[in-house]
Amino acid sequence: MKAMIYSFIQIAARKRFCFICYVLISFSFVHCSTSSDLASEDVTGAISNSNFIFSGVVLHNDSSNIDSYIPRRMAIVRVDSVYDAREPFYSIKGKEVTVLFRDPSIVHTEGSQMTFFTSGWYYGKTLGFVEVDSRINPVTDLKNKIRSTRQSVNDNALSERLKETELVVAGKVLEVRTDTLKIPFIRSEHNPELKIALIEVRSSIKGSNVKTVWVYFASSMDVMWRNSPKLSKNLEGIFLLERGDDNTFFNKKEYSLLGNLQIQPLREAERIKKLLKK
């Protein structure tokens, strides 16, 4: 573990990568992913904990082609087939990447063909991935397993969000305004730059029947708010609205759209209704 920390310090000292914060944040995930608990997980569990799944050949043990090296924990692997990845990494077939193995006691034979379940860790001229699991034998029907597992994970996340939501409506944004009420928010360098939008409600899926509803959202592209929902005039969708309270970012009992999953496409209406019945 000390070697891993020292390796990260070396990266920061030698290079000024724009993603260095991501690497440091990922350290906590590396520690989690390399825990012994994952050794007994089945394929479904491995898929759930991975965001890059591929088959490849171990080319060089105890080696690295990124600006990080942890003795006896890394290998350079050639990517032969990509089963699951975040864009734009589907196109790295044939590339050589570095894999950080979770268990240093397991020696991966050079030349062995394996299926790797990993999570992205290092992004530069070359890529580094943290092993969640790996299999020497091919996994039967892996693409369908990935598809069904991802769907289940998404359903669970959306279901949890729906439980926290007071009002779910299908509708259209009629207008967007700057927050003229100047809602007070907790003192922070991460100003959400709140705006307020008027939504025309076409149907209520959960909660009271209303014709229109005003909702606050963060217009800021600050790192804290970059992925929060952004509303614009004529935007159509299903809106999962929560009320602000003393535990949220601003102290106002108004509807807000600040978290992920709070805007869904209109085509997801039946799926949302089914999840609400669970």
* SS3 call for 83: strand
- The CATH number that applies at residue 14 is 2.40.50
CA gap 114, 136 in Å, rounded: 5
Domain count for the chain, please give it.
2
Claim to verify: residue 119 and residue 245 sit in the same structural domain: no
Q: For residue range 128-176, list pLDDT tens digits in order.
A: 999 999 988 888 889 999 999 999 989 999 999 999 899 999 999 999 9
Measure CA of the first residue to CA of the last residue in the chain; give whole Å.
43
Structural domain includes residue 147? no
Tell me, what's the pLDDT at 178?
A: 86
- Give percent of the chain with pLDDT exceeding 70: 78
Claim to verify: residue 196 and residue 98 sit in the same structural domain: no
End position of a domain, from candidates 140, 171, 203: 140
Tell me, what's the pLDDT at 58?
A: 96
Please, what's the largest Cα pairwise distance for the chain?
A: 65
Structural domain includes residue 196? yes
Q: For residue range 175-199, list pLDDT tens digits in order.
A: 999 876 555 555 567 778 889 999 9
Structural domain includes residue 53? yes
Instruction: Give alpha helix (H) positions in the chain.
Output: 2-14, 20-33, 43-48, 142-164, 269-277
- The CATH number that applies at residue 236 is 2.40.50.120
Q: Is pLDDT above 50 for 6?
A: no
Q: Is pLDDT above 60 for 31?
A: no
Give the CA radius of gyration of the chain. 23
CA gap 259, 190 in Å, rounded: 15
Claim to verify: residue 11 and residue 125 sit in the same structural domain: yes
Q: Is pLDDT above 70 for 265?
A: yes
* SS3 call for 121: strand
The arithmetic mean of pLDDT across residues 233-257, rounded, is 78
Tell me, what's the pLDDT at 191?
A: 79
Claim to verify: residue 126 and residue 16 sit in the same structural domain: yes
Claim to verify: residue 28 and residue 71 sit in the same structural domain: yes
Number of Cβ within a 10 Å radius of residue 256: 26
Claim to verify: residue 210 and residue 125 sit in the same structural domain: no
| Amino acid at position 210, single letter | V
Q: Which residues sit opposite 114 in a β-bridge?
A: 56
Closest residue by Cα to residue 240 from 231, 250, 251: 231
Q: For residue range 33-57, list pLDDT tens digits in order.
A: 333 333 334 888 899 999 999 999 9
Q: For residue range 71-125, list pLDDT tens digits in order.
A: 999 999 999 999 999 877 888 999 999 999 999 888 889 999 999 999 998 998 8
Tokens encoding 83: 């089963």
Claim to verify: residue 108 and residue 219 sit in the same structural domain: no
End position of a domain, from candidates 140, 170, 201: 140
Tell me, what's the pLDDT at 185?
A: 56
Structural domain includes residue 152? no
Structural domain includes residue 151? no
Claim to verify: residue 23 and residue 54 sit in the same structural domain: yes
DSSP-derived pairing of the beta strands 236-243 and 263-264: antiparallel
CA gap 68, 51 in Å, rounded: 21
CA gap 259, 31 in Å, rounded: 27
Closest residue by Cα to residue 236 from 195, 200, 262, 185: 200
Structural domain includes residue 146? no
17: left (phi over 0), alpha (psi -120 to 50) or beta: beta
Claim to verify: residue 111 and residue 209 sit in the same structural domain: no
Structural domain includes residue 95? yes
Tell me, what's the pLDDT at 64?
A: 96
The arithmetic mean of pLDDT across residues 212-218, rounded, is 93
Give the structural domain span for 211: 158-277
Claim to verify: residue 173 and residue 226 sit in the same structural domain: yes
Structural domain includes residue 145? no
Residues 6+ apart with CB under 8 A from 39: 102, 103
Claim to verify: residue 119 and residue 164 sit in the same structural domain: no
Phi and psi torsions of 185, nearest 5°: -125, 160
Claim to verify: residue 103 and residue 27 sit in the same structural domain: yes
